[in-house]
Amino acid sequence: MKLIGYFRSSAAFRVRIALNLKGIAVEHAFRHLRKGEQRAPDYAAINPQKLVPALVLDTGEVLTQSLAILEYLEETRPEPPLLPNDPVGRARVRSLALIPTADIHPIQNLRVMAYLRQTYGQSEEAAFAWSRHWIETGFEVYEAMVANDRRTGAFSHGDRPTMADLCLVPQIFNAGRFKVDMARYPTLKRIFDNCMKQPAFEAAQPSKQPDAEP
Amino acid sequence: MKLIGYFRSSAAFRVRIALNLKGIAVEHAFRHLRKGEQRAPDYAAINPQKLVPALVLDTGEVLTQSLAILEYLEETRPEPPLLPNDPVGRARVRSLALIPTADIHPIQNLRVMAYLRQTYGQSEEAAFAWSRHWIETGFEVYEAMVANDRRTGAFSHGDRPTMADLCLVPQIFNAGRFKVDMARYPTLKRIFDNCMKQPAFEAAQPSKQPDAEP
């Protein structure tokens, strides 16, 4: 398998953690998002979405959308599991995973910030405030959902990492670039610290990728 | 079970279709989003996200996030299935479902449009153009992914409805409000027409809900 990613992409970061946790070795390829390499015709031909990541299977089939890729990895390489066994717990984990994946990141990613600047003539600073606003809105919800729930453990759900943590951690890295004050989200901070002690998370972080830039 | 929704909510609409397809009868309750009823303390207490839908189980447990609810229904009431059997097919369906769910709808929903107007002082018209832009961007991708794929049938994946169609159809209803020209997306239009011939989709549409307004 080959993962096409970008060191700073939150979505690619989620998949890198899953691959590490499940011990799946893949070839890594890169598209430099700030240089627009994901819009090149050869990439658009395999992923019409022109976003990363894409997971190219050995059969040549291409999987896109990080959450769909995580579910695929879970179904085909179930150990260690990224979802609990009970349906209600699984629903909780997926609903937490969807906070960064659907309700934060798509609103504040590169293409939306570019649109704000180019179409609405907003300053870099205003686009920055936009991103921070949506991250903070989502983190407040995530914090409310994990802070007083007995199902929360060392991680978002119980005492081992789930899909929720795989989506939360990249969003917290991203939040650092927008100067979000994590002291406001003590449970998220605690979960993040626990995750980053795990080699699978540590090795997947942007600065450790072959395409990383200072 | 009780579904808390709003007639015009795309996310609640997805869940209504799934309930209908699987023949699950639920009590329906409503929060009027334009009146801000989803921000009332009694609702925030059960769904800190202050978004609809929420599915209240008979145990009192509350499930949120439409995609997580769809996966829960699929796991607990598997017939008829909303996902194909093969992992690559399941990944394809989920990646299609995520186009409206993550890459279109969260960027152009009510709260984001309100922010554009209130914080950036954008006109109603500019917010309207914003929504149309993100819907068109997403529909182009969806069309590219289904138009020339042999796995596309009468529906997005094969000849019966899947999670992808459940997410696509509400987004096409939403697109109508923003004057998106569906003639540009002939495969989506064909799939939509096939869906709307099915009673489960037809009965789930906004205008048929008890809280519908003209």
Taking only the tens place, the pLDDT of each residue in A92-150 is 999 999 999 999 999 998 889 988 888 888 888 988 999 999 999 999 999 999 998 99
Alpha helices in chain B (DSSP H): 10-22, 41-46, 66-76, 87-98, 105-108, 110-120, 124-147, 163-177, 186-196, 199-202
What pLDDT was estimated at residue B109? Answer: 86
The answer to whether A88 contacts B61, with C-beta atoms less than 8 Å apart, is yes
pLDDT above 90 for A188: yes
What pLDDT was estimated at residue A214? Answer: 83
What pLDDT was estimated at residue A45? Answer: 83
Across the range B173-198, mean pLDDT stands at 97
pLDDT band at A83 (very low <50, low <70, confident <90, very high): very high
pLDDT above 90 for B111: no
Nearest CA in chain A to B122: A120
Question: For B10-30, how does the pLDDT look when each residue is reduced to its tens digit (9 = 90+)?
Answer: 999 999 999 999 999 999 999
The answer to whether B65 contacts A94, with C-beta atoms less than 8 Å apart, is yes
Alpha helices in A55-185 (DSSP H): 66-76, 87-98, 110-120, 124-147, 163-177
Question: Are B73 and B19 contacting, i.e. CB atoms less than 8 angstroms apart?
Answer: yes
The answer to whether A63 contacts B115, with C-beta atoms less than 8 Å apart, is no
CA distance B201 to chain A (A): 24
Separation between Cα atoms, residue A80 and residue A18, nearest integer Å = 10
Please give the order of strands across the beta sheet that includes A2-5.
A27-30, A2-5, A54-56, A62-64
pLDDT above 90 for A76: yes
pLDDT band at A208 (very low <50, low <70, confident <90, very high): very high
Q: Mean pLDDT check: name the lowest of A36-50, A130-144, A156-170, B124-138.
A: A36-50
Question: For A134-182, how does the pLDDT look when each residue is reduced to its tens digit (9 = 90+)?
Answer: 999 999 999 999 998 999 999 999 999 999 999 999 999 999 999 999 9
Residue A153: Cβ-neighbour burial (10 angstroms; 0-12, 13-18, 19+): middle
- Give the three-class secondary structure for A6: coil
Separation between Cα atoms, residue A135 and residue A197, nearest integer Å = 23
What pLDDT was estimated at residue A40? Answer: 86
Q: What is the mean pLDDT of chain B?
A: 95
Q: Who has greater pLDDT, B53 or B41?
A: B53
Separation between Cα atoms, residue B72 and residue B65, nearest integer Å = 11
Establish how many alpha carbons lie within 13 A of residue B147's alpha carbon, considering only the half-sphere containing its beta carbon. 11
Q: Provide, as residue numbers in chain B, all residues whose Cβ is less than 8 Å from the Cβ of A106.
A: 102-103, 106-107
- Which of B64, B76, B133 has the CB atom closest to A87's CB atom? B76
In sequence order, what DSSP letters do the residues of A123-146 get, joined into one string? Answer: -HHHHHHHHHHHHHHHHHHHHHHH
Nearest CA in chain B to A54: B95
Question: Are B184 and B139 contacting, i.e. CB atoms less than 8 angstroms apart?
Answer: yes
Across the range B132-155, mean pLDDT stands at 96
Which residues, including other chains, have CB under 8 Å from residue A5's CB and lie 6 or more apart?
A12, A13, A15, A16, A28, A29, A30, A31, A52, A53, A209
* Adjacent-strand bridge partners of A3: A28, A55
How many residues in chain B?
A: 214
The pair phi, psi for residue A152, each rounded to 5°, is -70, 135
Which residues, including other chains, have CB under 8 Å from residue A125's CB and lie 6 or more apart?
none
pLDDT band at A1 (very low <50, low <70, confident <90, very high): very high
From chain B, which residues contact A within 8 Å (Cβ)?
A: 48-51, 57, 59, 61, 63-65, 67-69, 71-72, 75-76, 87-88, 90-92, 94-95, 97-99, 101-103, 106-107, 112, 115-116, 119-120, 122, 126, 130, 133, 140-141, 144-145
* Interior angle at CA A9, CA A1 and CA A129, nearest 5: 165
pLDDT above 90 for B34: no
What pLDDT was estimated at residue A86? Answer: 98
What pLDDT was estimated at residue B37? Answer: 85
Q: Reply yes or no: is the peptide bond before residue A100 cis, omega within 30 of 0.
A: no
Separation between Cα atoms, residue A165 and residue A169, nearest integer Å = 6
CA distance A3 to chain B (A): 15
pTM for this entry: 0.96
The answer to whether ipTM exceeds 0.90 is: yes
For residue B76, what are its two tokens? Answer: 């607990």
pLDDT above 90 for B189: yes
Residue found by looking up tokens 């079970």 in the block: B1
For residue A191, what are its two tokens? Answer: 């979960």
pLDDT band at A33 (very low <50, low <70, confident <90, very high): confident
pLDDT band at A36 (very low <50, low <70, confident <90, very high): confident
Which residues, including other chains, have CB under 8 Å from residue A81's CB and lie 6 or more apart?
A74, A162
The answer to whether B98 contacts A67, with C-beta atoms less than 8 Å apart, is yes
pLDDT band at B104 (very low <50, low <70, confident <90, very high): very high
What pLDDT was estimated at residue A77? Answer: 98
pLDDT band at B122 (very low <50, low <70, confident <90, very high): confident
Look at strands A2-5 and A62-64 and give their pairing. Answer: unpaired
Q: Could you tell me the domains of chain A? A: 2-80 (3.40.30.10), 87-201 (1.20.1050.10)
What pLDDT was estimated at residue A41? Answer: 87
For residue A72, what are its two tokens? Answer: 């695929």
Question: For B48-69, how does the pLDDT look when each residue is reduced to its tens digit (9 = 90+)?
Answer: 888 889 999 999 999 999 999 9
Question: Are A136 and A180 contacting, i.e. CB atoms less than 8 angstroms apart?
Answer: yes
Separation between Cα atoms, residue A29 and residue A37, nearest integer Å = 12
pLDDT above 90 for B164: yes
What pLDDT was estimated at residue A38? Answer: 82
Which residues, including other chains, have CB under 8 Å from residue B152's CB and lie 6 or more apart?
B146, B187, B191
Question: Are B122 and B128 contacting, i.e. CB atoms less than 8 angstroms apart?
Answer: no
Q: Provide, as residue numbers in chain A, all residues whose Cβ is less than 8 Å from the Cβ of B57.
A: 88
pLDDT above 90 for B102: yes
Q: Provide, as residue numbers in chain B, all residues whose Cβ is less than 8 Å from the Cβ of A90.
A: 71-72, 75
- Give the three-class secondary structure for A122: coil
